[in-house]
């Protein structure tokens, strides 16, 4: 049965999509069967992999018009694409009973076909993200190692806690991923130290370095392993994919921290 992981941060531009694609591709390199779900109406994940507009996207499936219809990028690497239509789904579903569980129902039909299902969430905490959280076992929070990285995190933790309590007991934060890290920048080093203090062992050991190839790969419609296999981006995401496998096999059991205060960096 597939392990479902949401990449979540309601802050924009922190590396959710880049991480969903490249953790997914890393897991495929390691022999896993992976399904990526583009749950963002911006469709950045679908566009970054150069997938042409599909007749059935996540929108049609969420609206009950079709089962999931993944696009095959290559063997063991499949993607359910998105489109701008998805932006109206939250409003269209407002009177739908059980609207928080639509994605979970859709996964029931495919969960034996994959080892990992990875969801690229939109930069918001609305109904789409709620669907991602009710259908996931794990959440990975990408954090850009810049000023205000941790701002708003208390809110994310609160939402995850509520979903865990009311809708999905299995849900937990399995990793915080430092992204766009430049060890030459004092600020980046300071922010990582703060994240480490705040999250302890939940912080993944690998930091994703600020790497030009990671920003270029989407323009070539490729994941980092196809675009630049020897780049730091490939090395970092491969290391993260290994950590994801390790954490799935041996989950970190931590008592949730009760402090609600968030450091300022």
Both tokens of 196, joined, read: 């480490």
Residue 133 CA to residue 105 CA, distance in Å, equals: 13
Positive/negative CA dihedral, 44, 65, 90, 68: negative
Residue 74: enclosing H or E segment and its boundaries? strand 71-74
Q: Which is nearer to Mg ion, 17 or 206 (CB)?
A: 17
* Contact pick of 3, 6, 44, 231 for ligand ATP (by CB under 6 A): 44
Burial zone of 253 (CB within 10 Å; 0-12 exposed, 13-18 middle, 19+ buried): exposed
- The nearer residue to ligand ATP, 214 or 245, going by C-beta atoms, is 214
Q: Please, what is the minimum distance in Å from the beta carbon of residue 90 to ligand ATP?
A: 16
138 binds ligand ATP (CB under 6 A): no
- Judged by beta carbon, residue 16 or residue 247, the one nearer Mg ion is 16
Site for ligand ATP contains 133 (CB under 6 A): no
Q: Which of 40, 60, 115, 223 binds ligand ATP (CB under 6 A)?
A: 40
Minimum CB–partner distance for residue 7 and Mg ion (Å): 8
User: Which helix (H) or strand (E) segment is 23 a member of?
Assistant: helix 16-29
- Tokens in use for 74? 């290559």
Binding mask 140-179 for ligand ATP (x = CB under 6 A): ---------------------------------------x
Round to whole Å and give the CA distance between 20 and 73. Answer: 14
Q: Is 3 left (phi over 0), alpha (psi -120 to 50) or beta?
A: beta
Tell me how far, at minimum, the Cβ of 82 lies from Mg ion, in Å. Answer: 10
Q: 204-233: which residues touch ligand ATP (CB under 6 A)?
A: 208, 210-211, 214-215, 218
Residue 134 binds what, of ligand ATP, Mg ion, none (CB under 5 to 8 Å, by partner type)?
Answer: none
Taking the least distance from each CB to ligand ATP, the nearer of 5 and 14 is: 14
Q: Which of 168, 162, 191 minimizes the C-alpha distance to 256?
A: 162
Q: Per CB under 6 A, which region of 11-19, 67-75, 166-174, 185-193 contacts ligand ATP?
A: 11-19
Least Cβ distance, residue 259 to ligand ATP (angstroms): 26
CA distance 33 to 18: 19
Q: CB 203: neighbour CB atoms within 10 A?
A: 19
User: By the criterion CB under 6 A, which residues form the site for ligand ATP?
Assistant: 12-18, 40, 42, 44, 123, 179-180, 208, 210-211, 214-215, 218
């Amino acid at each position: 049965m597939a392990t479902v992981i949401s990449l979540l941060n309601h802050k924009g531009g922190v590396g959710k999509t880049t991480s969903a694609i490249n953790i997914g591709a890393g897991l495929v390199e390691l022999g896993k069967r992976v399904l990526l779900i583009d749950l963002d109406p911006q469709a950045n994940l679908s566009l970054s992999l150069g997938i042409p507009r599909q007749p059935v996207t996540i929108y049609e499936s969420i609206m009950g018009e079709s089962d999931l219809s993944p696009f095959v990028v290559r063997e063991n690497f499949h993607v359910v694409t998105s489109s701008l239509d998805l932006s109206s789904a939250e409003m269209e579903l407002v009177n739908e009973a059980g609207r928080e569980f639509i994605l979970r129902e859709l996964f029931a039909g495919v969960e034996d076909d994959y080892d990992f299902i990875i969801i690229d969430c939109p930069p918001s905490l609305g109904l789409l993200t709620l669907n991602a959280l009710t259908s996931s076992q794990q959440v990975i929070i990408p954090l850009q190692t810049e000023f205000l990285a941790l701002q708003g995190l208390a809110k994310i933790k609160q939402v995850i806690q509520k979903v865990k309590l009311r809708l999905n007991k299995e849900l937990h934060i399995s990793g915080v991923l430092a992204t766009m890290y430049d060890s030459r920048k004092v600020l980046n080093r300071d922010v990582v130290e703060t994240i480490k203090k705040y999250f302890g062992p939940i912080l993944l050991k690998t930091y994703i370095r600020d790497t030009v190839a990671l920003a270029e790969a989407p323009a070539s419609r490729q994941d980092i392993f196809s675009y630049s296999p020897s780049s730091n981006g490939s090395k970092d995401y491969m290391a993260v994919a290994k950590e994801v496998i390790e954490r799935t096999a041996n989950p970190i059991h931590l008592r949730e921290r009760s402090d609600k205060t968030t450091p300022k960096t």
